[in-house]
Amino acid sequence: MASQKEKPLSANAAASQHSFQVILMAIILMLVSSCLAPSASAVEQEAEALLNWKASLDNTSLSLLSSWVGNSTCNWDGIGCNNIRSITHVNLTGSGLRGTLHSFSFSSFPSLLSLNLSHNSISGTIPSEIGFLKSLQILDLSENNLNGSIPHEVGLLGNLTILSLHNNELSGNIPLEICMLNSLSVIHIEKNNLTGSIPESIGNLSNLNVLDLGENNFSGSIPSSIGNLTKLKELYLMGNQLTGTIPNEVGKLKFLTRLGLVNNRLNGSLPSELSNLKFLKHLVLSGNNLSGNIPPDLCSGGLLEMFTAHNNQLTGLMPTSLRNCNSLVRLRLERNQLTGNINEEFGIYPKLAYVDLSYNRFYGELSENWGECQNLQSLKLSNNRISGRVPQFEGSIQLHILDLSSNNLTGTIPRQLGRLTSLFNLNLGDNKLSGSVPPEIGMLTNLQQLNLAANDFNGPIPEQLDGCRELLNLNLSKNKFSESIPLQMGSMQTLQVLDLSQNSLMREIPPQLGQLVKLEALNLSHNELSGLVPYTFDNMLSLTVIDLSFNHLEGPLPNNKAFLEASAVAFENNTGLCGNATGLNACPPETRGGKKGSKSVIFIIVFVLAILFFAFVVFGILWVRCYSQEAQNENQFAVWSYDGRLEYEDIIEATEEFNSKYCVGVGGNASVYKAELQTGRIVAVKKLHIVQDSGVANFKAFESEVRTLSEIRHRNILKLYGFCSHPQHPLLVYDFIEGGSLENILTDENHAIKFGWIERVNVVKDVANALSYMHHDCSPAILHRDISSKNILLDLEYGAYVSDFGTAKLLKADTSNWTSFAGTFGYSAPELAYTMETNEKCDVYSFGVVALEVIMGKHPGDLISYFLSLSLTSTAQPIQLKDVLDPRLSPPGNHVVEKVVTVLNLAFACLRTNPQSRPTMQQISNELLF
């Protein structure tokens, strides 16, 4: 009991002694510095200190420190010395180090100028002894797992110029002592859990160039002393809980190029002093509660490229300076209360790529000048009060997204829009447009979204719409379209959502619509359609939502789960629909098909139908039970992929134009970034580096394959959300998988031990299922071409996801011997050495290597040929199971050993030299159905 009582007491004492400790530390420092000249023993002391620290680190992480033996520290990797052999630099960035700093003897390095341990897995706190590094100029501990608070003793590092602690788990306040470090020029402490307010005394740091406090939990207001940081070029305070106004003193930061205040709780108006910032390039203020007018002269230096202030309460007119701001690239002011005549407020912007002014109060007519913005990719003006006609956008040949919905536009759609072949989202819905839809819309071959709903369009739906071969979502509802539904629509095979409701469409539904096998939602309600619902609808297996109400339809419903499960509302107000759906009358037996025949034939048909129906209901129930979860996700996926390229902008924003701090991996062919989109979804963005001469044809083939891939949904294939077809670095956007690659898990001792036999067998099964699906259930078959343990990702439950299907086709390996060879050395089939022709059997071979690797715990290497020779010569010793099992695991128990042996036998079969004698992925996947 007594000791329990003492604890709070001693904690209090420690707190009150804190300033005393700092003084003590300073005295110790003075004593240490009195013995400056390094003797032989000082050199030895440094070596010993480093070796002690090395010994304290997790020994799986030391492969890069293998040169750290003996005494010659100056020759060790990552170490730099001055001319008297004292250590001045320690640079171990990205060395895979795992451990803490607690055994690092800071006092042993009086000459250290730079300590860079960034991009490792160092955990624990930053020891207060860091204050001993009195010569230190650069301290970079960013991208680790450090926690606890920033020690006050950092304030003793009087020569510090760069302090970089970002991307850790640091908490607590900014120690005031830091604000005394007058030499500091760069502070990066973003992406931690720091709290408290930004200290007023930050204004002392008069040499600061960069200050990044973003994505912490700072509160309070921005101190006006920030105006004393007159050398500041970049100021980022985004993603905190800052309140109050933007201080006018910001206007004193005359060299500022980037100001980022997004996602705080700032209010008040934008200080007019912002006009003093002649070097300003990026001004990003969105997601606050800012009000008042936009200052008159934001573009006074003529350099402003990005101005975003969406989701605020800004009012008034656009300032005239923005009208003439030629440098603008991105302008986002959506969801404010801005007003003014859109024709007068905007000029011609040669560089402008992205404009979003939706949800404001702009009025007036759209000028043809928009067509002179040659780099325009997105123009979003929805939910304003814009009137007049739709311009022709003559020169805007890069336009991807044109959203003019929910305005007061009149007139017809100009035929010239058919020339905008880059368009993938055209939304003119909810206006007062009229006339017939020009057939030229069918020339928009990349269009994915077409929304013309809620206008006054009339005449027939143009049959040429089937030229939009990529269309996913077509909404023509709430117009006056008449005549029949064009049968050509049946060839729009990519359609997922088709809404033709509330028109005057008549006659029968064309049976060709049944070919829309990817259609998920079909709304034909409120038309004049008559006759039977076509039989062919039985085949629309993706359909989940259907509405046929308010027509003149009759006869039986198709045998299709969407119809069977729909509520009665979906069929109400028709002439005579019948069937087993809720609320409908049963059909008289001979209705379907209307054919007459002998009674016995009818009886047999009815009997067969009844059995089929029963099977269907059972299947349907199973389907619903197994897949209701999945269906929900798919739905989300659908909405998401609609915006395909739209996310490119979000990705640019989420990764701050591919800032290296979001980079989670770099390979020979691509860099991978982790991006959290505004929706909160976390995605992996793969930026491919394309070899210059890989050719346009190649790229086109790749592009079409990627499109196919983005529609594929398989449990064990990494979900591809979308891609952007920039010719030099196309982006692929995938689901972000938390666990890491199979390769990483197998090479990491700690992980590998936890990765047991059952999990390993399951991973092999998962990969086999994914490949079998792509080879045998897709038409045409899709090859991976680069299966290796790098491309297989595991989630936290060891579920496997195969990634990068088809990507290898586009990329050339950089090894000079293999110029036209796709794939990873050590995984590719031997025949690829003399033939360019890849087929399924090449994937099978690579799969065999991976399967062996999973069981052995490492790449089989030269053993592959050894195994092959064994299987050929009958005199050889049979392979002993224990020779190939990962020695880090205890041998598999009785119930698993059989499965492991099956995997090994299959793997050997896959490695056969003759491609024809390798099994197919389908056979393998079946063999693994234990």
Ligand X SMILES: *[C@@H]1O[C@H](CO)[C@@H](O)[C@H](O)[C@H]1NC(C)=O
- Among residue numbers 300 through 319, which ones bind ligand X (CB under 6 A)? 313
> Closest approach of Cβ 242 to ligand X, in Å?
12
Assess contact for 912 and 918: CB atoms under 8 A: yes
430 belongs to the binding site for ligand X (CB under 6 A): no
* β 138-140/162-164 pair status: parallel
| Residue type, position 56, single letter | S
**Three-state secondary structure call for residue 802:** strand
267 belongs to the binding site for ligand X (CB under 6 A): yes
Q: How many C-beta neighbours within 10 Å does residue 580 have?
A: 16
501 belongs to the binding site for ligand X (CB under 6 A): yes
Q: In this complex, which beta carbon is closest to ligand X, that of residue 61 or of residue 473?
A: 473
Q: In this complex, which beta carbon is closest to ligand X, that of residue 453 or of residue 768?
A: 453
Q: In this complex, which beta carbon is closest to ligand X, that of residue 502 or of residue 669?
A: 502
Assess contact for 557 and 571: CB atoms under 8 A: yes
Residues binding ligand X: what is the number (CB under 6 A)?
20
Q: In this complex, which beta carbon is closest to ligand X, that of residue 521 or of residue 733?
A: 521
Tell me which stretch binds ligand X (CB under 6 A): 198-206, 407-415, 690-698, 921-929.
198-206
- Phi and psi of 469, rounded to 5°? -75, -10
Q: Is the peptide bond before 915 cis (omega within 30 degrees of 0)?
A: no
291 belongs to the binding site for ligand X (CB under 6 A): yes
Q: In this complex, which beta carbon is closest to ligand X, that of residue 228 or of residue 407?
A: 228
Tell me which stretch binds ligand X (CB under 6 A): 200-208, 442-450, 690-698, 888-896.
200-208
Exactly one of 289, 493, 633, 704 binds ligand X (CB under 6 A); that residue is: 289
| Residue type, position 464, single letter | Q
228 belongs to the binding site for ligand X (CB under 6 A): yes
Tell me which stretch binds ligand X (CB under 6 A): 74-82, 197-205, 347-355, 551-559.
197-205
Tell me which stretch binds ligand X (CB under 6 A): 201-209, 571-579, 795-803, 831-839.
201-209
Instruction: Give me 177's structure tokens.
Output: 């002592």
What gap in Å lies between CA 600 and CA 122, rounded to an integer? 80
Exactly one of 48, 58, 129, 200 binds ligand X (CB under 6 A); that residue is: 200
For the window 517-546, what string marks contact with ligand X as x by the rule CB under 6 A?
Answer: ------x-xx------------------x-
225 belongs to the binding site for ligand X (CB under 6 A): yes
Task: Considering only CA atoms, give the Rg of the chain.
Answer: 33
204 belongs to the binding site for ligand X (CB under 6 A): yes
197 belongs to the binding site for ligand X (CB under 6 A): no
What gap in Å lies between CA 853 and CA 745, rounded to an integer? 12
221 belongs to the binding site for ligand X (CB under 6 A): no
What gap in Å lies between CA 97 and CA 869, rounded to an integer? 40
Q: How many C-beta neighbours within 10 Å does residue 79 have?
A: 20
> Closest approach of Cβ 545 to ligand X, in Å?
5
What gap in Å lies between CA 24 and CA 5, rounded to an integer? 28
> Closest approach of Cβ 179 to ligand X, in Å?
8
380 is in an annotated binding site: no
335 belongs to the binding site for ligand X (CB under 6 A): no
Instruction: Give me 767's structure tokens.
Output: 């990969």
What gap in Å lies between CA 136 and CA 164, rounded to an integer? 13
> Closest approach of Cβ 735 to ligand X, in Å?
28
Question: For residue 664, what is the enclosing H or E element?
Answer: strand 663-666
- Among residue numbers 667 through 706, which ones bind ligand X (CB under 6 A)? none
Instruction: Give me 34's structure tokens.
Output: 């009195």
209 belongs to the binding site for ligand X (CB under 6 A): no
Strand partners, 529: 507
Q: In this complex, which beta carbon is closest to ligand X, that of residue 308 or of residue 523?
A: 523
Question: For residue 444, what is the enclosing H or E element?
Answer: none
- Among residue numbers 793 through 822, which ones bind ligand X (CB under 6 A)? none
Who contacts 437 (Cβ-Cβ below 8 Å, separation ≥6)? 413, 452, 457, 459, 461, 462
201 belongs to the binding site for ligand X (CB under 6 A): yes
Write down the catalytic residue from 499, 766, 786, 804.
Answer: 786
Mutual angle of helices 863-872 and 840-856, in 10-degree steps: 100
What gap in Å lies between CA 449 and CA 467, rounded to an integer? 13
Assess contact for 457 and 435: CB atoms under 8 A: yes
Strands (E), 461-512: 473-475, 480-482, 497-499, 506-507
134 belongs to the binding site for ligand X (CB under 6 A): no
Exactly one of 382, 502, 803, 824 binds ligand X (CB under 6 A); that residue is: 502
- Among residue numbers 437 through 466, which ones bind ligand X (CB under 6 A)? none
For the window 390-429, what string marks contact with ligand X as x by the rule CB under 6 A?
Answer: ----------------------------------------
Residue among 553, 545, 591 nearest 572 (CA) = 553
Instruction: Give me 375's structure tokens.
Output: 């780099």
- Phi and psi of 446, rounded to 5°? -100, 0
For the window 467-496, what string marks contact with ligand X as x by the rule CB under 6 A?
Answer: ----------xx------------------
| Residue type, position 422, single letter | S
Q: In this complex, which beta carbon is closest to ligand X, that of residue 579 or of residue 919?
A: 579
> Closest approach of Cβ 226 to ligand X, in Å?
9
Who contacts 695 (Cβ-Cβ below 8 Å, separation ≥6)? none
Strand partners, 282: 258, 306
What are the C-alpha distances in Å from 542 to residues 185, 516, 631? 58, 9, 10
643 is catalytic: no
Q: In this complex, which beta carbon is closest to ligand X, that of residue 190 or of residue 547?
A: 547
Give the nearest residue (CB) to ligand X: 203
356 belongs to the binding site for ligand X (CB under 6 A): no
Exactly one of 190, 234, 430, 547 binds ligand X (CB under 6 A); that residue is: 547
> Closest approach of Cβ 466 to ligand X, in Å?
23
Q: In this complex, which beta carbon is closest to ligand X, that of residue 453 or of residue 733?
A: 453
Q: In this complex, which beta carbon is closest to ligand X, that of residue 478 or of residue 707?
A: 478
Q: In this complex, which beta carbon is closest to ligand X, that of residue 287 or of residue 319?
A: 287
> Closest approach of Cβ 477 to ligand X, in Å?
5
The 3 state secondary structure assigned to 568-616 is HHHCCCCCEEECCCCCCECCCCCCCCCCCCCHHHHHHHHHHHHHHHHHH
> Closest approach of Cβ 275 to ligand X, in Å?
21
Residue among 130, 49, 131 nearest 87 (CA) = 49
Known binding site for ATP: residues?
Answer: 687
Footprint on this chain of ligand X (rule: CB under 6 A): 200-201, 203-204, 225, 228, 265, 267, 289, 291, 313, 477-478, 501-502, 523, 525-526, 545, 547
Catalytic annotation, residues: 786
Known binding site: residues?
Answer: 687
